[in-house]
Amino acid sequence: MSAGPVSVSFRKVLVANRGEIALRVMRTCRVMGVATVAVYSEIDADQRHVLEADEAVCIGPAEARASYLNIEAIIEAAKATEAEAIHPGYGFLSENAAFAKACEDAGVVFVGPSADVLRDSSDKLIVKRRAAEAGCPVIPGPLDAVSEESAKLRAAANETGYPLMLKASAGGGGKGMRRVEREEDLESAAESARREAGGAFGNTELYLERMIEGARHVEVQVVCDNYGSTRFFGCRDCSMQRRNQKVIEEAPAPGVAVGDIQEAAGKLVEALGYRGAGTIEFLVEPDGSFWFLELNRRLQVEHPVTEECFGVDLVALQLQVADGEGFAAGERSVFSQGHAVEARVYAEDPAGGFLPSPGRVLYVAEPEGPGIRVDSALAAGMDVSPNYDPMLAKVIAHGETRDEAIARLDAALAETVIFGVRTNIAFLRTLLADPDFRAARLRNDAIDSRTDELVQLPEPGAEVVLAAAAAELLGVGARRRAPTAGGAARLPTPWETLAGFRLGEGA
Amino acid sequence: MSAKSLKKSYLLGGRAVEAALRLADGRVTGSLTTAGDEPAVVDGSARRLGAHRLALELDGKRVRATVLRDGGRTWVQIDGRTYEVDVHERGAGGGAHLGEADFAVSPMTGGLTKVSVTPGDSVDKSGELFVVEAMKMEFVVRAPRDLVVASVAYAAGDQVEQGDVVVAFEEEA
């Protein structure tokens, strides 16, 4: 890729997503001088991704199935606006082979892997087999689907050893996954996993893996061009997960030797003929051994920690690769500098069992300062809909050292204010303060094993009620009246209420 | 600025707290009584940092709070934690709910050139409450109904931001 200002031949890109990631993609489009098209569901007309785009097209009702997952409507919107490429963000249609195919058929560039690669890699067991063949270490277990015959299932399980994991070949989002401790539970677990996988994916195929206990979740960021070259952007650690949902992510992965893992990741993407940005997830054990876990064929939620360390714009690279640019022979990856940590702010109530907390956002104050980045679509007046993912914002801190990045992130979260919906901000700060996390003693079960303890907060002090009362006495903090959705509430301007208006008259 | 006082019952995390407070020249005195506990004496300070920000001092400890008053609920954020403080409704006659129409706010950011009322005043509908000036334009805020003034938060010459409560009314009879 040539030095100098980043550019692509696209004049207009449609962003088939919503929320912070849609805004994130549009920001890069603006840098590159590319016009943006937003798509939105009927309830999202006042969301920031719609208001800040150059054009916006309504693609259907609130339910994601009828709008953000509506392939036909999105292709229609791209044609109507003459967008030359579609960036799918993450989630929704980002890894959907049928969508990528529909884009190809419509003559619109899909910013991601080819439809063929997406189709071939949609089956986890097939990808695992390809990884093993390519020489990328995989979690021990048979590379064939488990038999429905109970004798064969038992034999395969005994060979793998307990505890083990049953996984759905078509799986995703933890669906169709079961941990099995002992032989007595095997058949019922297989049965319920099959049922769940069948319901969710229309495919009941399962496979077995040895349970890797207390490992870390480490992932490699790559971007592959169309001509067989791969650029590597180091490792992230995403061990801080709650029920398979990442909460805190960081780069680089503390104490992980990048070389071998990157090499293994490279073998897999090469074998698949992969194109675009991708993440290869691994489990890493305390002795340093690592096992391929999963391939994510999209931009990840946590991509900013990599961007902050490497000083790159991964969305720009995605667009350039989609535009057919190749990495120049011998081009080296830029170097990682310092450390970055990200916290995901969710509209959920940790004290109430982490139930989502939809509602109208009444007030927002986002942090700033050296090393602080906020990827968010928050605005006072916006509605947090129960129809979509409850992630509100990502707060990212970069520092020279891990300690500095954590300290900056903690201070940034302390000054992040969101009123109107409940959030997990206090919980995030508890996690950042955890001695094991501070010492980088990371395990992917660290949160789940002590959730009850981690959601505890001290009793509120007298200053809280004093603040409420003093606000009233001082006339501070009154909600602006007549809030309009999608923006700051407004009061009538003097021009709208001329009855009491005087010009040039002394008081 | 004249002294103002407040006597109100709040709910925080399911516990009722009675506040009896007086504010004069930034000094807050009085008591906070959590249900079932002895009253806690308050002698601290409260100052305005912005349209939604306060600087408080209590028992020698200083905290910065961000607040939003939304009808009967006040959202309070202190040091990364957010609290919902609700006005404790105690049935007919005892309620202390501050409704939408119970105060008059500044329609724009600017200087208060005149405050026409003092606490206890009865004002007829459309009577003048205060005057704000910004960019050489004056705007007169008038009473939305017949009312009695409960408190006045600013004096002529003060700077106010759009949305700041300048005059609070007694509850409607």
Instruction: Mark yes or no for CB contact A475/B164 under 8 Å.
Output: yes
Q: How confident is the model at residue A204 (pLDDT cuts 50, 70, 90)?
A: very high
pLDDT at A497 over 60: no
Structural domains in chain A, CATH included, are 12-111 (3.40.50.20), 140-210 (3.30.1490.20), 216-454 (3.30.470.20)
Interface of A with B in 178-197 (CB under 8 A): none
**Rounded distance between C-alpha atoms, residue A28 and residue A13, angstroms:** 11
User: What whole-number percentage of chain B has pLDDT above 70?
Assistant: 88
Minimal-distance CA residue of chain A relative to B27: A470
Chain segment A356-404, per-residue pLDDT in tens: 899 999 999 999 999 999 999 999 999 999 899 999 999 999 999 999 9
Instruction: Mark yes or no for CB contact B52/A466 under 8 Å.
Output: no
Q: Any chain B CB within 8 A of the CB of A257?
A: no
**Rounded distance between C-alpha atoms, residue A232 and residue A222, angstroms:** 5
pLDDT at A208 over 80: yes
* Range list of β-strands (E), A252-382: 276-284, 290-296, 339-346, 348-349, 355-356, 359-360, 363-365, 372-376
Q: Any chain B CB within 8 A of the CB of A415?
A: yes
In angstroms, the separation between the Cα of residue B166 and the nearest Cα of chain A is 7
Structural domains in chain B, CATH included, are 4-87 (3.30.700.30), 100-169 (2.40.50.100)
- Indicate the SS3 state at residue A262: helix
Which of these ranges, A54-63, A85-94, A389-398, A479-488, has the smallest mean pLDDT? A479-488
**Rounded distance between C-alpha atoms, residue A404 and residue A90, angstroms:** 29
Instruction: Mark yes or no for CB contact B56/A426 under 8 Å.
Output: no
Q: Any chain B CB within 8 A of the CB of A433?
A: no
Instruction: Mark yes or no for CB contact A417/B70 under 8 Å.
Output: no
**Rounded distance between C-alpha atoms, residue A451 and residue A256, angstroms:** 26
**Rounded distance between C-alpha atoms, residue A48 and residue A45, angstroms:** 9
pLDDT attached to residue A1: 47
pLDDT at B94 over 50: no
Give B-chain residues touching A472 at CB under 8 angstroms: 6, 8, 69, 74, 98, 168
Q: How confident is the model at residue A2 (pLDDT cuts 50, 70, 90)?
A: very low
- Indicate the SS3 state at residue A210: strand
> Average pLDDT, stretch B101-125?
85
pLDDT at A25 over 70: yes
**Which of A426, A464, A499 has its CB closest to that of B85?**
A464
pLDDT attached to residue B38: 87
End-to-end CA distance of chain A: 67
pLDDT attached to residue A433: 97
Give the ipTM: 0.87
pLDDT attached to residue A284: 97
Give B-chain residues touching A471 at CB under 8 angstroms: 54, 65, 67, 69, 74, 76
Q: How confident is the model at residue B62 (pLDDT cuts 50, 70, 90)?
A: very high
> Average pLDDT, stretch A320-325?
95
Q: How confident is the model at residue B137 (pLDDT cuts 50, 70, 90)?
A: low
Chain segment A471-481, per-residue pLDDT in tens: 999 999 998 75
**Rounded distance between C-alpha atoms, residue A309 and residue A338, angstroms:** 6
Interface of A with B in 343-362 (CB under 8 A): 362
**Rounded distance between C-alpha atoms, residue B43 and residue A39, angstroms:** 55
From the list A35, A26, A45, A47, the residue with the least C-alpha distance to A89 is A26
